[in-house]
Amino acid sequence: MARAQVAKSAQLLRMREILKVLGRLYPEAHCALIHRNPFELLVATMLSAQCTDERVNQVTPALFAKYPDARAMSGATLGDLESLVRSTGFYKNKALALKTTAELLVERHGGEVPSSLEELTALRGVGRKTANVVLGNCFGIPGIVVDTHVGRLVRRMGFTRETDPVKVEHAMMEIIDRDQWTISNHMLIDHGRSLCSARKPLCDDCPVSPLCPKVGVGGRSKRSA
């Protein structure tokens, strides 16, 4: 077996072990964005750019009460959308993206959210990350979602040196079993929020620590944090 294949096999086995640990640690891991259908998750994920999920979840109830579907949102004024999503940041760009995407959904897809990566990423303001969130959580189509938490953790765990989200996504597709792609996103995000934070990773208290080279950080404990 070639050296590269041996290395890839070792990375795959190590990731499987890490995901087993994370599965025990976060047995209820799930999408943090509250939604009832693909349209709501698409909108919520678009709003989550440069914004916390908590803030998005505070904004979307009023937004969806007024504009519950693509047809309704396509008829909204930009000013009203801007007012409703202002607290999520970059509200002018987000409002324009929401209205334009709603219009495209009506024009191209009969008001429904499409279930393919190509069709989703053809919408305004929808990149691979947003598309994979929708595909994995609403259509059961596995995808790797590389947000700041996932990118930081996989680099810290020594799986890649890439910083470009798309390159990280493709690297992870090689070493995570396809049926684990969607749930691994949620578990890694939960771990990034609870123990493996950017500035104070609690390595001394982390069950994943024996499997992690801690690239770029030293071990920290809750007592020293």
Residue-wise pLDDT for 118-127, tens only, equals: 999 999 999 9
Task: Look at residue 216 and tell me whether its pLDDT is greater than 90.
Answer: no
The mean pLDDT value for 16-38 works out to 98
Check residue 224 and give its pLDDT.
31
Task: Give the span between the Cα atoms of 99 and 45, in whole angstroms.
Answer: 15
Check residue 219 and give its pLDDT.
45
What is the per-residue pLDDT across 34-92, written as a single tens digit (0 to 9) for each? Answer: 999 999 999 999 999 999 999 999 999 999 999 999 999 999 999 999 999 999 999 99
Is the pTM value of this prediction over 0.75?
Answer: yes
User: What confidence category does residue 225 fall into, taking pLDDT thresholds of 50, 70 and 90?
Assistant: very low
Task: Look at residue 1 and tell me whether its pLDDT is greater than 60.
Answer: no
What is the per-residue pLDDT across 162-205, written as a single tens digit (0 to 9) for each? Answer: 999 999 999 999 999 999 999 999 999 999 999 999 999 999 99
Is 204 a residue of the active site? no
Check residue 85 and give its pLDDT.
98
The mean pLDDT value for 143-158 works out to 96
CATH (one of 3.40.50.20, 1.10.340.30, 1.10.10.10, 3.30.230.20) for 38-138: 1.10.340.30
Run of H or E including 131? helix 128-138
Task: Give the span between the Cα atoms of 59 and 139, in whole angstroms.
Answer: 24
CATH 1.10.340.30 placement within the chain: 38-138
Cβ-proximal residues to 194 (8 Å cutoff; 6+ apart), any chain: none
Question: The tokens of 22 are what?
Answer: 């994370």
Task: Indicate the DSSP class of residue 88.
Answer: G
Task: Look at residue 4 and tell me whether its pLDDT is greater than 90.
Answer: no
Q: Which of 130, 41, 164, 141 is nearest to 120 (CA)?
A: 130
Options 94, 99, 129, 190, the catalytic residue: 129
The mean pLDDT value for 6-27 works out to 95
Is 129 a residue of the active site? yes
Vertex 64: Cα angle to 94 and 104 (nearest 5):
55
Helix, strand or coil for residue 119?
helix
Q: Are 160 and 154 in contact (CB under 8 A)?
A: yes
Options 147, 204, 205, 214, the catalytic residue: 147
CATH 1.10.1670.10 placement within the chain: 3-30+144-211
Quickly count: other Cβ atoms within 10 Å of residue 15's Cβ: 21
Return the CATH fold of 3-30+144-211.
Endonuclease Iii, domain 2 (1.10.1670)
